[in-house]
Amino acid sequence: MLPSIWEEPILCCFRLCVWQITFSQVIAKTSMAQERTLEEVVSPFLMQLEKARAVPLVPDEDSSYSDVTFLFENIKKEACEVKNILQRVSKWENEIINDFGGIARHLDEIIEEDSQLNSIRSKLQIVNTELSKLKNRMQIPLHVPVIEAAAPTTLPSSVPSKWVHAKVSEQWKRLEIERKILESSTMSNLQLSYDNLDLQLKLCLLCFSIFPENSIISKRAMIHWWIGEGLVAATRNQTAEDVGKECFEKLIAREMVEPVYHKRRYAVNQCKLHPWIRRMLITVARQARFFEFDSNGNATWDFSATYRACLVEEHQLEIDVASLRNILTIFNVSERYLQFEKSWFLDLRKISVLQLGRWHNFYRHHIEVDSTEFLEGLPSSNQLKYLCLRGISRIIELPSSIGRLSNLRILDLHACHNLERLTESITSLQMLTHLDVSECYLLEGMPRGISFLTELQVLKGFVIGGSTGNYNCRVAELARLDKLKKLSIYIGSKVTVTEDELDELQNIKGLCILKITWAVSLSKKERVHQTSDSTSLLASLSLPLNLEKLDLRCFPGEKIPDWLSPSKLLKLKRLYFTGGMLNTFGDKNESEVWNIEVLRLKFLNDLSVQWTQVHDMFPKLTFLEVFRCMKLKSFPCDKDGVWMNNDMQQVNR
């Protein structure tokens, strides 16, 4: 006979061994034959939970049953959710069952040993915590290890960036880090997260595989690419761009792409990839022949086995003319100097996306083309939907043949600083939904006939020019564009306008977002010499009633004009002033109350207004940004010039 002091420890060890043996048998059977279902494992747990709940409780002083009851209910709810997840993710079954059994031991202890309320509460809290951790580990997508992404390396222009990536990859190979990552369970889980996406999200996500590590990627560029390839399309209730935004948001919600925020803003206009997700996508894209990659994981021009090609820095193009006929997408990842033969483009019969310009927002990134003659070969590409020449230098004029691209939806000429004139043939692009000629400062006007672009939804950089000749389009034409939602206007320094030129804006009934930029702001000495055109331009302007966002840049007025009134703009939620001569919001006693939620004030050195007045004028204000406004001292902004309402949940900007 053993002394009684040894009986309980031996009995506990025996119980534990029996439990472990039994549970090991469960694991073995599951691994070998997969004969048991996950439900058979969870159900006993739920039964144990009910037995534990039935144990008579001995209350302690100052204790209540409510928290124990809550814990039981919460554990049951968590367990049922775990059950549902386990049924969908059989690949994790063995590991989850093993950990799940460890948690169940605490319930055994309650059933067989405990009746004290505090002890039961303690064990239930452990079960609750561990079960929550277990459920979190099972979310799709799984959380990947946190890796601080290094800032993009700034290199001398003489050092190609691909050399740096090659050097890093060589180090990875030498240390076998890449092989270990690709063979790790985390990478398998990331692959599983990808597999659980629907087909549309899978294809959209694969597009991210071509970008260098740590790249900051523009949301706009990705959505335009998806529209061009037909990965997203308009529905009865949504535009293609809206559908693209939803896909982008879903990829963020699934944690497949990481949002990049500016200061504390809620809107996401850029994103990046976790390095491990990027590696996983490269593997999938290579296997699916979505793109071709070199041994270091960099996208290449090679399209011999795929339908897409990438332009990369310092890479000599080898052209197989026969293969060009089947290519769908050419995307410029890093090439700065573009040289093409016109004959190549004559063979691009099926191309739908031609992204030659910038795909990011780094304005110092220089791209140059030696000649635009190659664009004359594009008319044979009658499937082209997206043409991006964004930020490319030495484009003076587009060839008139561009008007024969009958399927073109998006034409992006933003920041083509040498562009002097738009060909009148663009008015033949009747499928066009997006036209961006903003920051093309040499343009002095827009061609007549813009009103023929009846599908146009976004028009950026519309120039009110210095001539009333037959070439220049007037604002009145835009009133015929029923689908136009977003418009930006540039008022040139040589403006010749009729008195009611901008009064026509109110007739663009569907317009929701409007930006107006005046070419120059007058100095204090020049203000008394303002031309009659400038004065009438301010007085005659009228805005659409449905406007939701108004962005005024270099506004030449000193006070809020009569046409900018809350009684006239009941739907206006966002108001931005950047630069200009504004010095007051008007008399505090006469100020009207706005529905504005977001207010931005930048580079307004003359503006003098008290915080109390702003607070009274904008009672619904949730977000305020002040930047380089020297006289706004009383505003309660943080170091970033931002003030946010404490009750704000989310700002849609």
Which domain-ending residue is among 393, 424, 443? 443
State whether 300 and 438 are in the same domain: yes
Per cent of the chain over pLDDT 70 is: 72
Is residue 621 a part of any domain in this protein? yes
Q: E-assigned strands of 247-404?
A: 258-260, 270-272, 308-311, 329-332, 337-338, 353-355, 367-369, 386-388, 392-393
Do 196 and 250 fall within a single domain? yes
**Closest residue by Cα to residue 300 from 281, 324, 282:** 282
- Same-domain status, 308 and 406: yes
In the structure encoding, which two tokens stand for residue 176, read together? 């076998």
642 and 573 share a domain?
yes
- What are the backbone angles phi and psi of residue 64, rounded to the nearest 5°? -130, 160
pLDDT digits (tens, 9 = 90+) for 15-73: 444 444 444 454 444 444 443 555 566 778 888 888 887 877 676 655 556 667 777 77
Render pLDDT for 364-402 as a digit per residue (tens, 0 to 9).
Answer: 788 999 888 888 888 888 899 999 999 999 999 999 999
Q: What string of H, E and C letters represents the secondary structure of 360-371?
A: CCCCCCCEEECC
What CATH code is carried by the domain that includes residue 324?
3.80.10.10
Residue 1 forms part of a structural domain: no
* Residues 320 and 427 grouped into a single domain: yes
Q: Which of the listed residues 426, 443, 460 is the one where a domain comes to its end?
A: 443
3-state DSSP helix/strand/coil % of the chain, to nearest 5: 40, 15, 45
- Please check the confidence at residue 534 and state whether its pLDDT lies above 90: no
Rg (Cα) of the chain, in Å, rounded? 32
| Residue 136 banded pLDDT, cuts 50, 70, 90 | low
- Is 636 within the bounds of a domain? yes
Q: What is the CB neighbour count within 10 angstroms for residue 640?
A: 13
Instruction: Mark whether 299 and 439 lie in a shared domain.
Output: yes
pLDDT band at 152 (very low <50, low <70, confident <90, very high): very low
Give pLDDT, residue 317: 66
Task: Determine, yes or no, domain membership for 285.
Answer: no
Identify whether 435 is part of a domain: yes
Domain encompassing residue 637: 553-653
| Residue 385 is assigned to a structural domain of this protein | yes
- Identify whether residues 213 and 116 lie together within a single domain: no
Residues 336 and 420 placed together within one structural domain of the fold = yes
State whether the Cα torsion 129-130-131-135 is positive or negative: positive
**Given the structure tokens 């010499």, which residue do they identify?**
529
Q: How many domains does the chain divide into?
A: 5
Beta carbons of 151 and 98 less than 8 angstroms apart: no
Q: Of 409, 435, 431, 487, whose CA–CA distance to 232 is shortest?
A: 409
- The CA-atom distances, in angstroms, between 570 and each of 73, 544, 545, 546 are 48, 11, 7, 8
Residue with the bigger pLDDT between 166 and 243: it is 243
Both 221 and 323 in one domain: the answer is: no
Largest Cα separation within the chain, whole Å, is 115
Candidates 500, 412, 493, 419; CA nearest to 459 is: 412
Q: Are residues 302 and 411 in the same domain?
A: yes
Is residue 492 situated within a structural domain?
Answer: yes
State in Å, rounded, how far the first CA of the chain is from the last one: 79
> Is residue 324 a part of any domain in this protein?
yes
Are 560 and 542 within one domain?
no
CATH of the domain at 222: 1.10.10
Domain closes at, from 209, 241, 276: 276
Compute the distance between CA of residue 107 and CA of residue 114 in angstroms, rounded to an integer: 10
- If DSSP codes are grouped into helix, strand and coil, which group holds residue 421? strand
pLDDT digits (tens, 9 = 90+) for 316-355: 666 666 678 889 999 999 999 998 888 888 888 899 999 9
**Are 355 and 232 members of one domain?**
no
The whole-angstrom separation of Cα 449 and Cα 428 is 9
How many whole angstroms separate alpha carbon 623 and alpha carbon 124?
43
- In percent, the amount of the chain with pLDDT more than 90 equals 44
- Taking the model in full, what pTM does it have? 0.73
